[in-house]
């Protein structure tokens, strides 16, 4: 039984699935908390509007579900890329907290400079405070969990446990 638990803990795919669920959920909760005055459905309709445009706001539950799906797909994409790229980042920075910071900043730039402008949402105006809050949320909710889990795996590899 102990071997089976070790195999599960060391399985890279299970690690990514778990971390993606954590990062997606943390980021969703942070978005809901930051926008606490808005209905939770509107947050996910906004995400869905990246693909469906303004029709997402009149699509009801279906658009909310699409928004949740898109949110987790994006969270899993970042989680997978960062988890697999951790060894390269570690060679450069040698500090899991600095790497978490870098991950959050990269997430913000990719989403706000590339993804959102080419989506049906389009380019949003730049404001310093929301930018800093958004970056901080991504550092804490995506960068930190991925870096901590990836660093733990790196240490297990070095100790010969994987």
What pLDDT, on a 0 to 100 scale, did the predictor assign at position 160? 85
Q: Residue 129: give the domain boundaries.
A: 2-38+71-158
What pLDDT, on a 0 to 100 scale, did the predictor assign at position 10? 67
| Tens-digit pLDDT profile for residues 125-145 | 999 999 999 999 999 999 999
**59 in a domain, yes or no?**
no
107 near 138, Cβ under 8 Å?
yes
H/E segment holding residue 30:
helix 12-34
Which residues in the chain land under pLDDT 70?
1-10
What pTM was estimated for this model as a whole? Answer: 0.89
**15 in a domain, yes or no?**
yes
What pLDDT, on a 0 to 100 scale, did the predictor assign at position 159? 85
**44 in a domain, yes or no?**
no
Cα separation of 96 and 29, whole Å?
23
**60 in a domain, yes or no?**
no
143 near 107, Cβ under 8 Å?
yes
**51 in a domain, yes or no?**
no
| Tens-digit pLDDT profile for residues 71-97 | 999 999 999 999 999 999 999 999 999
**54 in a domain, yes or no?**
no
């Amino acid at each position: 039984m102990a071997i089976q638990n070790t195999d599960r803990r060391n399985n890279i795919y299970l690690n990514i699935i778990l971390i993606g669920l954590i990062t997606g959920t943390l980021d969703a909760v942070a978005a809901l908390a930051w926008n606490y005055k808005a209905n939770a459905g509107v947050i996910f309709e906004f995400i869905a509007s990246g693909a469906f445009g303004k029709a997402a706001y009149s699509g009801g539950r279906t658009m909310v579900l699409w928004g949740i799906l898109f949110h987790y797909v994006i969270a899993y994409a970042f989680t997978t890329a960062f988890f697999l790229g951790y060894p390269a980042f570690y060679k450069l920075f040698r500090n899991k907290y600095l790497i978490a910071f870098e991950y959050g900043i990269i997430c913000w730039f990719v989403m706000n400079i590339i993804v959102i402008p080419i989506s049906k949402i389009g380019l949003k105006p730049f404001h310093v405070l929301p930018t800093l809050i958004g970056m901080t949320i991504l550092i804490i909710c995506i960068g930190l969990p991925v870096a901590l889990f990836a660093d733990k795996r790196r240490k297990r590899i070095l100790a010969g446990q994987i």
